[in-house]
Amino acid sequence: MAKKSVDTKRYVKTKGKKRRKRKLIKFICAYSAVRATVKVAGRLVERYNEEDEVLEAGNVVNYFLAFKGRNIKVENERFSGAIVNTICSGLKLDLSNAIIEDDVNIYCKNTMSGVSIIVPENVKVEVSSKTKFSGVANNVPVIDDDAAPTIHIHVDNYMSGVDVKITQESSIKNFIYKKMKVSKEDIDSEDDFDSEDDFDSEESVDEEYEEVESEDDSETKDNE
């Protein structure tokens, strides 16, 4: 009996030591993962900051966001281009009232972020993208104006989304204009169709009149 109790105590001690070792290993792994994540995020922020300093030049505006959200509106100011760098952030860049007279470039580099760009309704937009697990949408209506300036948007996304559009008010106006234009074309086509029907009906009336006349002539000859 004494031997069995000693073996049981040894087994309990050994099992307790193994549990403590496993807990210690789990804690070390979790701590290492958190430390590595923070280190990588710090390096990303440093890299983006370095690129900001290199790329910023002239009148080009530079926007850098990390782990936050921001709404930026350019109101009645000349816009010459922008560089957008985001990390785990949300950005709304409203250029609907900006003054854009020449072609401009917007460079977007996003990591796990969402960016919305609102442009004026009198400009053209061309989007070139390099994405990975991401999406880019260009919802700006195409305008037929060779003199209109063009906004070139260059997107480099990783697990991010970029939406380019005009204001909701402008979208409604364009929708109503297109609807009115289509309805006007339908009305014009219906008028043309009615006029053709009228013309055909007039011809049929003339033919019927001639048939009646010929029948009357034949009857008068028979009577004679």
Dist CA 59 CA 41 (whole Å): 29
Which pLDDT belongs to residue 130? 92
Which pLDDT belongs to residue 173? 57
Which pLDDT belongs to residue 134? 92
At 169-185, the pLDDT tens digits run: 655 655 565 556 555 55
Largest CA distance in the chain: 153
* Domain residue extents for the chain: 1-55, 57-166, 168-224
Q: The pTM is what?
A: 0.57
Average pLDDT of the chain to the nearest whole number: 75
Which pLDDT belongs to residue 35? 79
Which pLDDT belongs to residue 219? 54
Which pLDDT belongs to residue 33? 80
- 3-state class of 94 per DSSP? strand
For residues 222 and 38, the model is more confident at 38
Worst-scoring range by mean pLDDT, 57-66, 103-112, 197-206? 197-206
What is the average pLDDT across 12-40?
73
Which pLDDT belongs to residue 180? 64
Model confidence at 151: pLDDT above 60: yes
**CA 1: distance to chain centroid?**
78
Contacts of 149 (CB under 8 A, 6+ apart): 100, 101, 102, 103, 104, 123, 124
What is the average pLDDT across 153-181?
77
Which pLDDT belongs to residue 153? 96
**Rounded to 5 degrees, what are φ and ψ at 59?**
-95, 10
**pLDDT band at residue 13, thresholds of 50, 70 and 90?**
low
Dist CA 41 CA 62 (whole Å): 20
At 79-129, the pLDDT tens digits run: 999 999 999 999 999 999 999 999 999 999 999 999 999 999 899 999 999
